[in-house]
Structure 1
Amino acid sequence: MSATPQEIFQRYVYAGAMTRNADALAELFTEDGVLEAPLLAAGSAFPRRTAGREAIRAALAEYYARPVGGPRTPNLEKSGYVLHTTADPDVFIAEIDTVFDGEEGEEEETVSLVQVFRLRDGRIARLRDYFAPSLV
């Protein structure tokens, strides 16, 4: 039985945002999978477009090797997401609101983004990640 969109999304978040594990994240993709961040400029720290599981593994390992930026800490209790299924059972959309705690005397900040997942045989064939370029 194939994994549900919920399971795939949770594995993706855990491998990427939570543990920064390029190997685990790459294994979620098909061999010819594509990871895109279309709003980023070419040459950004996070890869704008990477094709192929091994290329995704290498690009994210390089990105995750960088120091985690800034003092912002995500507040998992206040953060949330909504998954939307589509007429195509291999496509789902994640709406994400990540809340970052503020430094002392500063307000918390909410960062919103959208991810479009296209699956094949239970793996991610294409992921388009729409987030603000200032985040990387």
Structure 2
Amino acid sequence: MSRTPQEIFERYVHAGPMTRDADALAESFTEDGVFEAPLVPAGAEFPRRLVGREEIRRAMAAHYERPTTDARVPNFEKSAYVLHTTSDPDVFIAEIDTVFDGDDGDGGDVAVSLVQIFRVRDGRIAHLRDYFAPGLVS
């Protein structure tokens, strides 16, 4: 099944950050898919490395079920991303600026930037490296 980088990325974002649906998120990965968050310190509550669709499903379901103390709400209309293709047709990069409404203490918006590197196989994510500031995950 062939999907474009745009389709793969949008499916991933909808399943994860937008709806927090661990089943849909896991299904966007290959059976042996790898999710990595290399900047997350060892022992943190957010998973640093998950291998296999079922481990991704279990760990992200547990993460999504945790109570959050973070009152920030992303504004998807103000947020933006750019996808960059590479010389390898199975690799693309997402450059993301997520905007949170009124989060700077003065009622102003706060933008958070991150980068994700996707390696895909058969229309699914085979390896995702998610580079974000670990303090942003509650």
TM-score normalised by the shorter chain: which range applies?
Answer: over 0.9
Give CA deviations for 1:10-31 in whole Å, capped at 9, x if unaligned: 0000000011000000011111
The residue number in structure 1 matching 2:72 is 72
Shift of 1:42: 1.1
**What does 1:1-136 correspond to in 2, within 5 Å?**
1-102=1-102, 105-136=106-137
What value does the CA root-mean-square deviation take over the aligned residues? 1.2
Aligned length: 136
TM-score by length of 2: 0.94
Give CA deviations for 1:49-90 in whole Å, capped at 9, x if unaligned: 000110000000000001244221111111000000000010
| Structure 1 residue matching 2:30: 3-state secondary structure | strand
Percent same amino acid at aligned positions? 71
Shift of 1:102: 1.0
Misfit runs of 4+, over 6 Å: none
Distance 1:110 1:60 in 2: 24
1:128 partner letter = R
| Structure 2 residue matching 1:74: 3-state secondary structure | coil
TM-score by length of 1: 0.95
Distance 1:27 1:77 in 2: 26
Which ranges of structure 2 fall in alignment gaps of 5 or more residues? none
Distance 1:21 1:99 in 2: 21
Distance 1:34 1:69 in 2: 28
